[in-house]
Structure 1
Amino acid sequence: MTSVTLIDTSRADPSIIRLAVEMPGKPGQLYCWDQNKSLTTIAEEVCHMYNIGNPGDYALQHTDVKLTYITEDNRSELTNGIVLKLTDSPGKTAQDVFSNLQSENPEDTQQALQKLSKASADITFAQEFCNRGGGDLLIGMVEEGSGQGEALAFTLASFLELMEHSIIPWENITMKFIKRIASYVNRTHSAVLQPGDSTVTLKALAILESLILSSADLYNTIANELTFQNLVPHLESNKHPVIQQYCLALMNALCLRAPEDRKKKLEDSLSSKEIRTVIMEKIVRSQSVGTEMQHQLYVFQQLTFNLLEKKMNTKIDSNNDKHRENIIDLRRIAFGTDSDTRKPGSGSVSANDYKKLGFTNTGNPTLDFMAVPPGILALDCMYYFATSHNESYTKVVLENSCRADEHECPFARTSIALTRILCEILKVGEAPTETGQDYFPMFFSCDNAFKEFFCQCIRLFN
């Protein structure tokens, strides 16, 4: 007969943990867990307490929401006073679920899917299930489109959990599977009527994001099925903040992993007024923004800032007509001067005007924009200030041109330095971090947000 220690009388042995064990339909039992005993021996002892045979079919499990099985990897985390549950072993549970998923009885399949959606969070169970071909079985079920409503929600939730354990080989993901998942994202809201359909949308968004971040080979297949235009309705769905969060995460993932041939199209989407307005009105202003949503807003903001990187690191081209004309327009707008020449700095009068504007190279002001950063981004900001805030620009320039040297704030030199500083502060060109959460609502509130920020700052400097 097996000898079971129920009480550690000395209470001095650190390898003995005093805990309780429960089993559905039976009273709980006190048990002294001996860390020196194997898990097989412990399972045999607990089964003996409950007069149960076949101890190999049973295992101990936490009773919390995650229902984690006790394994050699986590047994050291057990503490006095916890409650464990005697339940079917991971292998037996996986086999039962796998078999019932193939049952012709819809109720058996539904129950198996519900059980799978909870059990898949545990890595031990997940490995047992996938070892039996469970991952491929779920992929096939999705491809066939046999499930809907809650059954489909359980299927996608289960698959997402298995993906997060990194035990689904990427080569098993088929184009047909991706098209089916994308269809759940692209369908119109009027088609979402059944119980569980909001969960289907959420899980589909999460699966696509995870696939994009994890496999470069799958990017084009996924991107071919999605457009930002089809994702916008999910951003507008402020009755479902979690769907908004996963939708924004998917948008961010599409931009983060975009190959060169797709970047231009996605950059246009990032700077879209429609998307920016939806984020501002439906997310930033309409709810208490949670931690994960803060991170996604930060990532979106950083990706938007990074659209400026190319200009920030590009020197001015003295042969570029547009650049030359913008510099000439800075002088014309400030002093009301019409010049016959289209060459900045030509003539003593224009050189004096460029000195008043604060340029260092008054004979050829294009040379002031050779330093990178901020490159031609500084000229863009200055020109935007002059054309979009005409009165403020004229005031800043004229006030500075009348000041004594010790009080001057030369517009051009200040603008170039300010643009560089703003790029440093806002980390233009840097990849978003995994933990960043700092986002600024003002950058979602208007078009040309960086340039507007520049305009506010240059006024303050003056």
Structure 2
Amino acid sequence: MSIIGDLALRSVVLESEGRRSRRETSGFSTMRRSRASREIIKVDVEDTAHVPFGTKHKDVVKVAVEMQGQTTQLVDLDQKESLEMIVEKLCEGWGVENSHYYSLSLVSHEGARGVYITEKNRYQIKNGSYLRVSTAPSKAARDIITRIKNRNRPMAEKKPVMQRLAQMSSDETFAVEFITSDGVTLLMDLVVSGVTTGENLGLVLAAFLALMDHGIVSWNSLNPRFVQRVASFVNKSTVAEAIIVQRALAILESIVLLSDAFCQVVSGQVSLQVLTEHFKSPAAEIQLNSVTLINALLIKATPAKAKEILDIINSRHVQGLILQGIIDGRRAVGAEMAHQLHVLQVLLFCCLDDRIQTELDPGDPEQLDKVRKLYALAFDRDLSAQGSALFAENKGAIRRSKVEYMENYKKLGFTNHTSPILDFEETPPGLLALDCMLYFAENHTESYNKLVFENSCRDDQYVCPFARCAIALTLLLCKMLQVGEPPLETGQDYHPMFFATPNAFEEVFCVCIQSLNKTWREMRAIHEDFDKVMDVCREQIGMALSHRPRSPTIFGTKLQDYSYHEIIRQIQDSRVSKLPLDGDVEPLCGLRKTITPGVVQLIKAHRLSHLVKGGLFQKFNKRRVKDKFWFCRLAPNFKAFHYGDAGEGTTPDIDQLSGKLDLADIKQLVTGKQCPHMKESRSQKDSVTPYAFSLLYYPDLSLDFVAPTKEMYDMWTDGISALLDQEMTSKTTKKEMEMLLSMEMRLALLDTEGLQLPSEPPPLPPEPDNYDFAVKL
């Protein structure tokens, strides 16, 4: 602190001490200073928390309180005293009457009014907090409604009122008062009547959405004309009305997800062609809300409607809009857009899941016909001739032909040569494997014929069984791409190539089956090596997917970079690096035990450093809050967590974070379904809980987190465990522990390279006869 700041602080202390003796009955130490010194008081209040302003008590906090047109007061606020009494005493200090018209609210570091202080959230008031006495929520709600209804003023002049309403609607205390005064109905009437236009309409829609997000009013209670009116806004895409389109899309998404009564109304009113055209919008929020609304429509759609939507999304035109307008657009894909693309990819895979779970009907002529097509495209035979030969009941006349067909089906790699359709009985992958095989044969006929011909020319023991490999490969791709799994609430993983071309999954299959055949050839594999080949194939696909290729063609190029020989080289290097340090050799065990504490401290320091840098977390209430984030970081002295609202991609400083949780107040770290916000959430999927954790603190409160990735979850839970002197148990820690131990032990054993380490320490030599040593100098 500067010398001037220190002198100012001392004057504050002396003046406050002098006034305390004159105001002991009120419990306040009031300080009146000029406007120019307000910032000094505001900053130094936190620094004076340790100064003995009188009797110190855990329920008394030192705060600064301001009011418009009044000087700031430095106050000892008793948390056991009622809020009404506190406001009354503050108003007395300023000489303000009608204290029941006012309430306390927190002030953000930017100077804006924060949430109203209530009995429910007054625990947020900490030493050094900056408060404001402002209009009570009930009076503010009545004033706003009165001004909106005032017909003597044109709607164009009511913009300041609309702005104030949009800002205050996110406060739950104000929202309750406004909704109780029938404010939501008033806003719907403004939209339906059409008297509100332009920017004012955008503010009305923003306020309406914020009010409804509190969950006080049911989405089923909306005015049907309001729903139709909002749905009509999405057809407008001019720059002047971009804010209206953005808010309308967000409202429609909530209606689809939360209103059974109006879900079908929105589905019928909104044109998917118009929605997808919004992907070209220069406004990132419109792009995001368009994708979000499409996801909501897909989630709530009937099977027939879902197929209609998926057909549009899978069209070449729409996929071009997604790839060029969003993924490769002028701006980087943000966290929320990445999540929505993750959800869209999962929903696109839903049509594949139906085929995966479809059980085989051996008598289904459609499935039998697909098997015949595979045969015909491979061996250039007439389908009708094959049908009469393989499936007719008159076996005597066709015995020779049937033997030939059985041999050829064996060459195609079917396990059941007499009835190959039975190879697809197992679910998963079910009939999806047959669909992928036929797609490869029909759309890549030359490659298909080449693959079949190549295997026909090999010795029987070296033949790559195409059908068996295709079925196993389909199942492998489904597992690696998590086909059929629900979307993760915090998931941001998606693959651009599935938005690059129609039938992307089938195209990826075509690339992989050719790579698998090549790997089989390079390994000189036989039938007994089938599982080994599939293991290598899994490694190849995983490494290629890690590059997030833009198209199946680029994916195929990446697969070629990870040939069988490259995979084996990496596996051997990994094994060789571990061999000398494995086993139960006593000297190595002793060395490992000696090095371990230092490695643990190194990992602990890294975790704490990560917490000091902080992290951005998605907001959750009863459900995931779209595009809303908060930031949390550990103080450099490791004594407290600081947290507060933040924008996407921002890294606020500690003094910009209004919340604070002292480490000494933390009782326990809980994870998964034990977290309070997961118990209260309407979405209690297993996919959410693994990344959730909470800090429980006095008395029955919690600071709740949902990490966006497994890596971030491990970092934070390990770091918090280290702060609480608990064991770090994540898989990331175990992996890093092994890596660092291996590195440290190798450095320690450099001088023993090439030597055989004994399993036991060498024996001690016998003692000498005497210790009378002579040393010749």
Query: Structure 2 counterpart of 1:341, which letter?
Result: Q
Residue 319 (structure 1) shift: 3.6
**Contact 1:305/1:426 (CA < 8 Å) preserved in 2?**
no
Query: 242, 245, 248: which is aligned to 2:291?
Result: 248
Aligned to 1:68: 115
**Contact 1:153/1:199 (CA < 8 Å) preserved in 2?**
yes
Query: Structure 1 counterpart of 2:122, which letter?
Result: R
Aligned sequence identity (%) = 39
Distance change in 2, residues 1:457/1:89 (3 Å)? same
**Contact 1:211/1:218 (CA < 8 Å) preserved in 2?**
yes
- For structure 1, the 5+ residue unaligned runs are none
Aligned to 2:473: 418
Distance change in 2, residues 1:327/1:35 (3 Å)? same
Distance change in 2, residues 1:68/1:459 (3 Å)? same
- 1:299-321 Cα offsets, whole Å, 9 max, x none, are 11111110112221223443444
Aligned to 2:164: 115
Alpha-carbon distance in 2 for matches of 1:404, 1:162: 73
Query: 101, 120, 131: which is aligned to 1:84?
Result: 131
Residue 459 (structure 1) shift: 1.8
Aligned to 2:775: none
Are residues 1:318 and 2:318 paired?
Answer: no
Distance change in 2, residues 1:411/1:124 (3 Å)? same
Are residues 1:155 and 2:200 paired?
Answer: no
Relative contact order higher in (CA < 8 Å, ≥ 6 apart): 1
Structure-2-length-normalised TM-score: 0.56
What SS is found at the alignment partner of 1:26? coil
Aligned to 1:41: 85
**Contact 2:104/2:131 (CA < 8 Å) preserved in 1?**
yes
After TM superposition, list the pairs within 5 Å mapping 1:159-238 onto structure 2.
159-187=208-236, 189=237, 192=238, 194=240, 197-237=241-281
Alpha-carbon distance in 1 for matches of 2:446, 2:306: 37
Residue 447 (structure 1) shift: 1.2
- 1:352-390 Cα offsets, whole Å, 9 max, x none, are 111111100011111111111212111110111122222
Alpha-carbon distance in 2 for matches of 1:381, 1:117: 52
What SS is found at the alignment partner of 2:118? coil
Query: 283, 289, 296: which is aligned to 2:333?
Result: 289
Query: Structure 2 counterpart of 1:356, which letter?
Result: K
**Contact 1:60/1:87 (CA < 8 Å) preserved in 2?**
yes
Aligned to 1:268: 311
Aligned to 2:386: 341
Aligned to 1:6: 29
Residue 210 (structure 1) shift: 0.5
Query: Structure 2 counterpart of 1:85, which letter?
Result: R
- 1:86-141 Cα offsets, whole Å, 9 max, x none, are 10011111110011110121255322211100000000000000111101111111
- For structure 2, the 5+ residue unaligned runs are 1-22, 31-51, 392-400, 518-777
Distance change in 2, residues 1:234/1:119 (3 Å)? same
What SS is found at the alignment partner of 1:341? helix
Distance change in 2, residues 1:48/1:320 (3 Å)? same
What SS is found at the alignment partner of 1:32? strand
Root-mean-square deviation (Å): 2.1
Query: 143, 155, 174: which is aligned to 2:192?
Result: 143
**Contact 1:136/1:172 (CA < 8 Å) preserved in 2?**
no
Query: Structure 1 counterpart of 2:181, which letter?
Result: R
Alpha-carbon distance in 2 for matches of 1:367, 1:204: 52
Aligned to 2:178: 129
Aligned to 2:342: 298
What SS is found at the alignment partner of 2:387? coil
Aligned to 2:447: 392
Query: 409, 412, 415: which is aligned to 1:354?
Result: 409
Structure-1-length-normalised TM-score: 0.93
Bigger Cα Rg: 2
Query: Structure 1 counterpart of 2:453, which letter?
Result: L
Alpha-carbon distance in 2 for matches of 1:131, 1:108: 26
Which deviates more from structure 2 when the two are superposed, residues 314-323 or residues 79-88?
Answer: 314-323
Are residues 1:94 and 2:141 paired?
Answer: yes
- 1:320-350 Cα offsets, whole Å, 9 max, x none, are 4443232223223333344622265861111
What SS is found at the alignment partner of 1:30? strand
Query: 238, 260, 277: which is aligned to 2:320?
Result: 277
Aligned to 2:419: 364
Which deviates more from structure 2 when the two are superposed, residues 104-113 or residues 175-184?
Answer: 104-113
What SS is found at the alignment partner of 1:201? helix
Are residues 1:103 and 2:150 paired?
Answer: yes
Distance change in 2, residues 1:152/1:331 (3 Å)? same
Residue 171 (structure 1) shift: 4.3
Distance change in 2, residues 1:311/1:226 (3 Å)? same
- 1:169-207 Cα offsets, whole Å, 9 max, x none, are 3343122101110111123x3xx354xx21111000000
Alpha-carbon distance in 2 for matches of 1:151, 1:223: 27
Alpha-carbon distance in 2 for matches of 1:303, 1:403: 42
Which deviates more from structure 2 when the two are superposed, residues 93-102 or residues 397-406?
Answer: 397-406
**Contact 1:331/1:354 (CA < 8 Å) preserved in 2?**
yes
What SS is found at the alignment partner of 1:428? coil
Alpha-carbon distance in 2 for matches of 1:324, 1:259: 29
Count of aligned pairs between the two proteins: 456
Which deviates more from structure 2 when the two are superposed, residues 307-316 or residues 320-329?
Answer: 320-329
What SS is found at the alignment partner of 1:315? coil
Aligned to 2:512: 457
Query: Structure 2 counterpart of 1:5, which letter?
Result: F
Alpha-carbon distance in 1 for matches of 2:441, 2:347: 27
Query: Structure 2 counterpart of 1:331, which letter?
Result: Y
What SS is found at the alignment partner of 1:217? coil
- 1:403-443 Cα offsets, whole Å, 9 max, x none, are 45665431101111111222222232333232221110010
Aligned to 2:550: none
Query: 352, 360, 374: which is aligned to 1:308?
Result: 352
Residue 80 (structure 1) shift: 1.6
Distance change in 2, residues 1:193/1:421 (3 Å)? closer
